[in-house]
A and B are shown apart, each in its own frame.
Chain A
Amino acid sequence: MATTTAPGPVPLGERLRRTWETAPGLYGVLATVDHKVIGKRYLVTAMIFLLLGGLEAAVMRVQLARADMHVLSPEMYNELFTMHGVTMIFWYAAPILSGFSNYIWPLMLGARDMACPRANALSYWTFLMSGVFLYTSVLVGQMPNGGWFAYAPLSEPAFSPGYHMDFYVIALTFLSVSTTVGAINFIATLFKTRAPGMSVNRLPIFVWGTLTTSFAILFATPALTGACMLLFLDRRFGMHFFDAALGGSPMLWQHLFWSFGHPWVYIVVLPAMGIISDLIPTFARRPLVGYTFVAFATVSTGILGFGVWVHHMFATGLPQTSVSFFSAASMVITIPSAVAVLSWVATMMHGRPVWKTPMLFAAGFVVLFVIGGVSGVATAAVSFDWQLTDTYFVVAHLHYVLIGINVFAVLAGFYYWLPKMTGRLLNETLGKWNFWLMFLGFGVGFFPMHTLGLLGMPRRIYTYHAGLGWGWQNMMITIGAYVFAAGVLLFIANFFWSLVRGEPAGPNPWDAPTLEWATPSPPPPYNFAVIPTVGSRHPLWEDRLGEGTGRSVLDRGPVLDRGRDTFGTSPLDAEPEEILRMPEDTLWPFFLSLAVLVLCYGLLASFGWLSLVGVVALFVCTVGWLWPKPLPVEP
């Protein structure tokens, strides 16, 4: 391997910094395309949505703490549980994982940015602005109120007057722009911008997770977009898609929604499972057991996820053959899930686990994954499901899945990667308190929901009578939920503590094996001064493992310092094929998102002229964005 580190009058790092750094001031804030800045913004924004959704839940838990309470009106309760579900599932659970992927992917893959940095900025701005649009409904007192899956005919104009569900359909369609752009960018990045030698059999599992998710997004999100579009046409233009009286069918909504909805479950858990699969080896001090199986399990879960949507519809009177098929298909998913669990447990058993906070969260994650999986198998069995559908058992199951498999992995990810992002270690003592508060609070708060569901407590009721005997368990749930919330707040406190008092992390505080730990903490704007060449799955553990035939080269190699350059590599073997000169900072993504926001308000208010302004602005921004810059000139 030859070197090309020609020392110029200005040191290499300084030259690269000047090339890659975002301009200071407001322009830089709005125009940056640095994946690390965008990733951090995603994380912070999604955490704010987590707090908003948590606040909504906290109010609901006060209402339900005892029988016959009247803190909230029934209407207000409907709005709160809808906003809680929509916020958590759409504006927290997937975007937070996009945040991690945005920040970590290029570092893990040994590249200097994502393949489409400006599209990356667009996906963040549309995420933010769709959330702003959704929360406008709070300001005008018209929050969505039909549940997060907005079943027709309840969401049809006859039964849902006002703007409530219009906010829902427009905001979700807006968000799907962000999700789709992000997914396209991840796939293009995987295909084009990796370090030489980062072939597909060396990709970290987290990358496999986000990649599978991105394909699922491309194929599933149009079902939601289409469904929302049809509902909007029913509501505003007097069409009849879901109107049984004129040839439509409310069942069509359910089919479209769950064709999207079930793949979405895997979209919000597969990257989280990937975080755990990459984190456990670091703290178990050995490579992941069964890497290839886990990678295949990830992809096959994503594919199987498209064939199980009817298990959300067992109680709708579908033919026996149909529900039996979907019941069987749903049970098949236990196989790849079990592969992943066995791999995590085996990795811990055959390693020498170091019980730092990230590892605690990872272990908690595995426990909750198993419990949530078992209650999932229960609801996949048709006869069982008929007893439990629309009860608190389902609420318990979905929270075990979404909190257990998403939030616990996210917290593990934060404790693992925040030192990389901020350069400061978090406090271990606070971290352990954080974990135990969240883990025990979660158990106390959510396990009783199973038994309440078995006792017959329906979901989405705003109160219940004292004579039903559900009071003490509900009080327990409320207490547990508040302990859990205290844990989340302790994490935020720990984060701010680390910024002020945290120990400097150094490049690799956990002695981890993957490429992101080869950069300083926090990484410079250009990520890698020299582009690494990857020779194995664990570039930083090669001295000890002696696995594989190749050796990674990290400290010398191609520098690519003539512009914002990175390698364009071949899809499978990551052979360098070309130099990609990445785009400069630009305001177009920001303006384009603003144009979409204007269009959305125009559609909401039925102001034709405002919608037209939005569409024209959208066209102008698109052309402005795509109009070619002068071709890069070779010096």
Chain B
Amino acid sequence: MATLARPYELPLNPAARDNPGWWVMVLIIATEAMLFVYLLFSYYYLASMARTPWPPGGPPELGLIIPNTILLLASSGTMWWGESGIRRGAQTRLRLGLLITLVLGIVFLVIQGIEYGRTTLTPHSNAYGSLFFTITGLHGAHVLIGLLLNVVVQVRAWLGHFSAERHLAVTNAAMYWHFVDLVWVAVFFSLYVTPYLR
């Protein structure tokens, strides 16, 4: 441990992975993921206990939701593209990546809203309706949080706060965004795909 002799030769607050801020985001994602695990458990539990056909009004329509899913997955790609840009110091690529991701995220929420408007199901219809709107609504809230993170990071990107060495906020916002997308894959599979698998 030769470094102990001259401790200040060590880097000061490096914005690296495995810095405390990075761990905090990883652990937040872990505990948030568990929240969705328990909610999807509730969905499967009530589905398995149902005495009437499940879902009560037949499987949900896929017309809008498949393109919307593709769109959200694509936004993970644009986020990755922007983040890998700043790792090489490419400011414009970061700004563009964040901006396209933001737009795709907003479009996702708008289409989700249109989907809500088209269905006759309500949260008050039955337990299935309660589950459907709570799980997709909570996911939507997470998309919104991801977008707020994006806005804040975006402002900082346009202010030129980030460099190839220091961009932990971008990494964290990107991790969160990928997490939100992965949760959507689980939600999509559970709520939209499994009703057709029988």
Which residue on A lies nearest to B22, using beta carbons? A188
Check B131 for interface membership: any CB of A closer than 8 A: yes
Check A130 for interface membership: any CB of B closer than 8 A: no
Find the residue from A234, A238, A256, A558 having the highest chain B CB count within 10 A. A558
Check B66 for interface membership: any CB of A closer than 8 A: no
Check A580 for interface membership: any CB of B closer than 8 A: yes
Q: Mark B162-187, 1 if CB is under 8 A from A, else 0.
A: 00001001000000000000000000
Question: Which B residues touch A191, using CB under 8 A?
Answer: 18, 23
Which residue on B lies nearest to A226, using beta carbons? B38
A196 lies within 8 A of B13 (CB): no
Question: Which A residues touch B67, using CB under 8 A?
Answer: none
Task: From B31, B42, B148, B161, give the contact of A230 (CB < 8 A).
Answer: B42
Question: Which B residues from 2 to 52 make CB contacts under 8 A with A?
Answer: 3-8, 10-14, 16, 18-20, 23-24, 27-28, 30-32, 34-35, 37-39, 41-42, 45-46, 49-50, 52
Question: Which B residues touch A15, using CB under 8 A?
Answer: none
**A456 to B: closest C-beta gap in Å:** 32
Q: How many A-B residue pairs have CB under 8 A?
A: 168
Task: From A218, A233, A577, give the contact of B30 (CB < 8 A).
Answer: A218
Question: Which A residues touch B35, using CB under 8 A?
Answer: 222, 225-226
Task: From A184, A247, A568, give the contact of B28 (CB < 8 A).
Answer: A184
Which of B94-102, B122-130, B188-196 touches A? B122-130
**A366 to B: closest C-beta gap in Å:** 34
Q: How far is the CA of A580 from the CA of B14 in the complex (A)?
A: 8
Check A115 for interface membership: any CB of B closer than 8 A: yes
Q: How far is the CA of A5 from the CA of B131 in the complex (A)?
A: 63
Question: Which A residues touch B197, using CB under 8 A?
Answer: none
Using A226-B39, A252-B45, A577-B10 as known contacts, say yes or no to A196 and B4 having CB atoms under 8 A apart. yes
Task: From A220, A221, A248, give the contact of B127 (CB < 8 A).
Answer: A248
B39 lies within 8 A of A241 (CB): no
Check A351 for interface membership: any CB of B closer than 8 A: no
Check A357 for interface membership: any CB of B closer than 8 A: no
Q: Mark A222-262, 1 if CB is under 8 A from B, else 0.
A: 11011101100110011111010011110110011001000
Check B134 for interface membership: any CB of A closer than 8 A: yes
Size range of the chain B interface in the assembly: 35 or more
Q: Mark B139-172, 1 if CB is under 8 A from A, else 0.
A: 0000000001000100010000100001001000
Q: How far is the CA of A567 from the CA of B39 in the complex (A)?
A: 40
Question: Which A residues touch B6, using CB under 8 A?
Answer: 4
Q: How far is the CA of A29 from the CA of B7 in the complex (A)?
A: 32
Check B70 for interface membership: any CB of A closer than 8 A: no
Question: Which B residues touch A567, using CB under 8 A?
Answer: 7, 10
Which residue on B lies nearest to A3, using beta carbons? B5
Which residue on B lies nearest to A191, using beta carbons? B23
**B139 to A: closest C-beta gap in Å:** 13
Question: Which B residues touch A332, using CB under 8 A?
Answer: none
Check B77 for interface membership: any CB of A closer than 8 A: no
Which residue on A lies nearest to B13, using beta carbons? A581
B31 lies within 8 A of A579 (CB): no
A247 lies within 8 A of B46 (CB): yes
Question: Which B residues touch A568, using CB under 8 A?
Answer: 19-20
Q: Mark A573-587, 1 if CB is under 8 A from B, else 0.
A: 001111111000000
B7 lies within 8 A of A558 (CB): yes
Using A222-B38, A579-B13 as known contacts, say yes or no to A116 and B20 having CB atoms under 8 A apart. yes
B20 lies within 8 A of A226 (CB): no
Which residue on B lies nearest to A628, using beta carbons? B161
Question: Which A residues touch B169, using CB under 8 A?
Answer: 626, 628
B49 lies within 8 A of A249 (CB): yes
Which residue on A lies nearest to B47, using beta carbons? A247
Question: Which B residues touch A193, using CB under 8 A?
Answer: 20
Q: How far is the CA of A575 from the CA of B18 in the complex (A)?
A: 14
Question: Which B residues touch A531, using CB under 8 A?
Answer: 7
Question: Which A residues touch B59, using CB under 8 A?
Answer: none
Using A116-B20, A219-B31 as known contacts, say yes or no to A226 and B130 having CB atoms under 8 A apart. no
Question: Which A residues touch B23, using CB under 8 A?
Answer: 115, 184, 187-188, 191-192
Q: How far is the CA of A4 from the CA of B42 in the complex (A)?
A: 59
Question: Which A residues touch B10, using CB under 8 A?
Answer: 567, 576-579
Question: Which A residues touch B28, using CB under 8 A?
Answer: 184
Q: How far is the CA of A560 from the CA of B156 in the complex (A)?
A: 31
Q: How far is the CA of A226 from the CA of B130 in the complex (A)?
A: 13
Using A252-B46, A577-B10 as known contacts, say yes or no to A233 and B4 having CB atoms under 8 A apart. no
Task: From A187, A220, A229, give the contact of B27 (CB < 8 A).
Answer: A187
The 7 closest A-B pairs by CB, nearest first: A247-B127, A2-B5, A239-B130, A222-B35, A248-B127, A558-B7, A222-B34
A-B contact pairs, 10 of them (CB 8 A): A1-B4, A191-B18, A225-B35, A229-B134, A252-B42, A565-B12, A567-B7, A568-B20, A628-B169, A631-B13
Interface residues of A (CB under 8 A from B): 1-2, 4, 115-116, 119, 180, 183-184, 187-188, 191-193, 196-197, 218-223, 225-227, 229-230, 233-234, 237-241, 243, 246-249, 251-252, 255-256, 259, 531, 533, 557-558, 560, 562, 565, 567-568, 571, 575-581, 619, 623, 626, 628, 631-632, 634
